[in-house]
């Protein structure tokens, strides 16, 4: 049960994250009509620094629909702590942007 809840939180963070990035990126003059474009915009705007991590997050989200498969669910659960770090960095970058570049 805890594993499934953690995976659901990941899915929610992903969905809210890319949509928030897309909205803020539009204000910066970038179009981000989908998750990949949104996370690429976040990287180009300096809100996140690890392109490889975000590529893994994108792939993991696609696999999250298969959490009924034990091996895939366990693998995703193993990666979540690192993914949360990526989301935390993204949030901090977006906050800096919103506050005018100040920490």
Q: Which architecture, in CATH terms, is 2-98?
A: Up-down Bundle (1.20)
- Rounded mean pLDDT, 4-20: 96
58-77: pLDDT as tens digits: 999 998 887 788 898 999 99
22-54: pLDDT as tens digits: 999 999 999 999 999 999 999 999 999 999 999
Q: Where are the domains of the chain?
A: 2-98
pLDDT of 98 higher than 50: yes
Listed as own residue / partner, the contacts of 78-83 with beta carbons closer than 8 Å and 24 or more positions apart are 80/6, 80/7, 80/10, 82/53, 83/10, 83/53, 83/56, 83/57
């Amino acid at each position: 049960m805890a594993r499934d809840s953690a995976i659901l939180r990941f899915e929610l963070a992903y969905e809210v994250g890319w949509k928030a990035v897309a909205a803020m990126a539009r204000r910066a003059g970038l179009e981000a009509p989908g998750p990949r474009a949104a996370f690429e915009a976040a990287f180009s705007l300096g809100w996140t620094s690890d392109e490889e991590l975000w590529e893994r997050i994108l792939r993991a989200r696609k696999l999250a629909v298969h959490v009924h498969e034990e091996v895939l669910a366990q693998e995703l659960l193993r990666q979540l702590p690192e993914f949360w770090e990526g989301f935390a960095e993204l949030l901090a970058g977006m906050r800096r942007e919103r506050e005018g570049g100040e920490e």
